[in-house]
Amino acid sequence: MTLSTQELRQAAAAKAVEYIQDGMTVGLGTGNTASYAITAVGQRVAQGLKIITVATSDRSEQMARDLGIPLANLDDIQQIDITIDGADEVDLATLHAIKGLGGALLREKLVACATLLETLIIDDSKVVQRLGERVPVPVEVIAFGYQHTQRALAALGCQPVLRKGPDGNPYLTDSRNYILDCKFPGIDDPETVAQQIKLVTGVVEHGLFLGVARRVIVARQDGIQVVEKGI
């Protein structure tokens, strides 16, 4: 029997939620895969699990609220024990990732930086040998003068495209910024590219998550693979 992509994502999420224990502070990711984890967390909370969570987007916060999951603001928390989030690409050799196709990269990175054990959950279609192979790097930018920022990013060797919403207007992040989706031909040196993007005036944050994930859970047709770094 072949599992669907949704079943694979659900399996990765279920495995990640097994690591949550009473008393933990838990970061809730954003996107389709992360939403399976939030649902599973909600089920465990309903069964008596005692945790506090921090959401990485308005969407995930609303979902947690609907499921009765206790929420706190990031600034109310010193450190998050574990965050469970999705990703768009992961290099399993380094656990470097690209995130943000779902539009929540800034809050996701802020929560990840406050997290001891950032855990990414993916189906195996998102495993790459080289970052940038499949997807663009989403870059959150200030709306003011964004075309200047776009030109500066293009000079780094990518093709930045303004993300639009379903209504055809520029997509607005939870922080009211724009996103430029920057397609690179493939990224050989992600650290340098990340530094170069960050130095462009107008850039708020980018979707290269380098050295952030400590655990990646990959759901494959033949089972779950858990890859850990520095645990």
Active site residues per annotation: 108
- Pairing verdict, β 137-141 and 159-162: unpaired
| 190 touching ligand A5P, by CB under 6 A | no
Selected from 91, 108, 118, 181, the binder of ligand A5P by CB under 6 A is: 108
* Sole window of 74-82, 96-104, 109-117, 187-195 interacting with ligand A5P (rule: CB under 6 A): 96-104
Which neighbouring-strand residues pair with 225?
A: 218
For 155-198, give the DSSP string.
Answer: TTT-EEEE-B-TTSSBP--TTS-EEEEEE-S--S-HHHHHHHHH
- Pairing verdict, β 115-123 and 215-220: parallel
Quote the distance between the C-alpha of residue 125 and its chain's center.
16
| 103 touching ligand A5P, by CB under 6 A | yes
* Sole window of 11-19, 70-78, 101-109, 184-192 interacting with ligand A5P (rule: CB under 6 A): 101-109
Give the 3-state secondary structure of residue 143: coil
Contact yes or no for 41/61 (Cβ under 8 A): no
| 86 touching ligand A5P, by CB under 6 A | yes
Contact yes or no for 66/59 (Cβ under 8 A): no
Shortest distance, position 155 Cβ to ligand A5P, whole Å:
25
Q: What angle do CA 60, 214, 95 make, to 5 degrees?
A: 95
- Integer angstrom CA distances of residue 39 from 16, 32, 36, 202: 12, 11, 5, 36
Shortest distance, position 218 Cβ to ligand A5P, whole Å:
13
| 34 touching ligand A5P, by CB under 6 A | yes
* Sole window of 13-21, 65-73, 99-107, 183-191 interacting with ligand A5P (rule: CB under 6 A): 99-107
Selected from 54, 87, 193, 203, the binder of ligand A5P by CB under 6 A is: 87
| 105 touching ligand A5P, by CB under 6 A | yes
Shortest distance, position 48 Cβ to ligand A5P, whole Å:
28
| 99 touching ligand A5P, by CB under 6 A | yes
Residues that bind ligand A5P in the complex, under the rule CB under 6 A? 29-34, 85-88, 99-105, 108
